[in-house]
């Protein structure tokens, strides 16, 4: 049983999606949680929900593109709850802010902005969290990566590169600060069915994700949050520098091999056993 009683956590992008699910799980397990986000209406609504349930939670406006915001959000957590044990570097900037593309069509400004919003932001989170964690005697940092860090996406070259860099950052922090009792790991989601994803992605894409997922349903934010909680907690106390893939098995198969296999064992994608978004 994971217990986060007495722990203080900061979650960037904590007002929606994976960050929101993580905030709910961490507070349910006893942690005090700071929701750091740019969407203060959603952050405040979540804090109201969590405090009404008897949990300790607070919201702070922090834009992960602004270094002073990152420094201030961590100082806020220490000031409000007495220290810092967990940082979930989760927020990433949306592609509406920094459109992505294949390399031959890449706009260098968007490339830099994407790296700022998915990699530099996490580095700065670590930079300002580490001194607080050393004061506390240790801590755990969990970075939200993506399966794009492991396999090419073609039209998301900047995002993939930024997330791959996040894995190197994760190892750097883990090895450099291990003797300070600070762990650093990454969680690597595949396709996650968030509210934003439902609102913005074409419905057909979910069928494609479904067909490519060996387990019989799509990943939900709560599935990723459980892995984040595990990596943040004492349950993973000897795990550091790792990237934990949470994707229902998407990355574990050879796509070009499947049609051959289907010929011998039949198409095992069965709509009657697969949970689609509307279910
Ligand atoms: N959803 C997926 O399928 C998926 C898959 C792989 C990886 N990821 C990664 O998971 C992380 C969270 O994604 P999600 O799908 O839960 O997102 P989401 O859109 O559901 O929520 C993101 C939150 O981040 C906040 N945010 C946006 N820009 C910000 C900024 N500049 N500063 C602070 N907060 C900001 C938003 O207001 C929102 O509350 C991202 O790093 C993303 O790359 C998501």
Ligand 1 test: best mutation among 17, 143, 244, most atoms within 8 Å of CB? 17
13: Cβ below 6 Å to ligand 1?
yes
Token pair belonging to 61: 């406006």
Q: Residue with the nearest Cα to atom 25 of ligand 1?
A: 13
Active-site annotation, residues: 159
H or E stretch covering 225: helix 221-232
189: Cβ below 6 Å to ligand 1?
yes
Give pLDDT tens digits for 10-63. 999 999 999 999 999 999 999 999 999 999 999 999 999 999 999 999 999 999
For the cut 60, the answer to whether the pLDDT of residue 267 exceeds it is: no
Q: What is the mean pLDDT of residues 223-249?
A: 98
What pLDDT does 274 receive? 65
64: Cβ below 6 Å to ligand 1?
yes
What pLDDT does 181 receive? 98
φ, ψ of residue 197 to 5 degrees: the values are: -60, -45
What domains lie within the chain, and their CATH numbers?
8-265 (3.40.50.720)
Give pLDDT tens digits for 195-233. 998 888 888 888 888 888 889 889 999 999 999 999 999
Cα(17) to centroid(ligand 1), Å: 7
Q: What does R_g of the chain's alpha carbons equal in angstroms? A: 19
Cα(99) to centroid(ligand 1), Å: 15
Cα(13) to centroid(ligand 1), Å: 6
Give pLDDT tens digits for 54-90. 999 999 999 999 999 999 999 999 999 999 999 999 9
Neighbours of 213 (CB within 10 A): 20
- DSSP letter string over 19-45? HHHHHHHHHHTT-EEEEEES-HHHHHH
State how far the Cα of 65 lies from the Cα of 93, in Å rounded to an integer: 8
Who contacts 231 (Cβ-Cβ below 8 Å, separation ≥6)? 140, 142, 183, 185, 187, 239, 244
Least confident of 190-199, 229-238, 251-260: 251-260
What pLDDT does 271 receive? 62
- Per-residue H/E/C for 180-205: HCEEEEEEEECCECCHHHHHHCCHHH
């Amino acid at each position: 049983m994971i217990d986060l009683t007495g722990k203080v956590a900061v979650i960037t992008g904590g007002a929606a999606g994976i960050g929101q699910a993580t905030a709910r799980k961490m507070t349910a397990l006893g942690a005090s949680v700071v929701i750091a986000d740019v969407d203060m209406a959603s952050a405040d609504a979540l804090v109201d929900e969590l405090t009404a349930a008897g949990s300790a939670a607070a919201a702070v406006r922090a834009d992960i593109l602004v270094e002073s915001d990152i420094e201030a959000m961590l100082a806020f957590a220490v000031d409000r709850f007495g220290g810092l044990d967990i940082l979930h570097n989760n927020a990433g900037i949306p592609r509406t802010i920094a459109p992505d593309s294949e390399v031959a069509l890449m706009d260098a400004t968007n490339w830099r902005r994407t790296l700022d919003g998915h990699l530099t932001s996490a580095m700065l989170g670590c930079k300002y969290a580490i001194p607080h964690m050393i004061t506390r005697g240790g801590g755990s940092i969990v970075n939200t990566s993506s399966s794009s860090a492991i396999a090419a996406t073609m039209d998301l070259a900047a995002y993939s590169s930024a997330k791959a860099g996040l894995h190197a950052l994760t190892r750097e922090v883990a090895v450099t600060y291990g003797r300070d009792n600070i762990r650093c790991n990454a969680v690597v989601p595949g396709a996650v069915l968030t509210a934003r994803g439902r609102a913005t992605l074409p419905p057909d894409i979910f069928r494609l994700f479904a067909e490519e997922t060996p387990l019989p349903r799509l990943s939900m934010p709560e599935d990723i949050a459980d892995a984040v909680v595990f990596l943040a907690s004492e349950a993973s106390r000897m795990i550091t520098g790792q990237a934990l893939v949470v994707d229902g098995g998407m990355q574990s198969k050879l796509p070009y091999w499947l049609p051959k296999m289907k010929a011998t064992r039949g198409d095992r994608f069965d709509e009657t056993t697969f949970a689609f978004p509307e279910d």
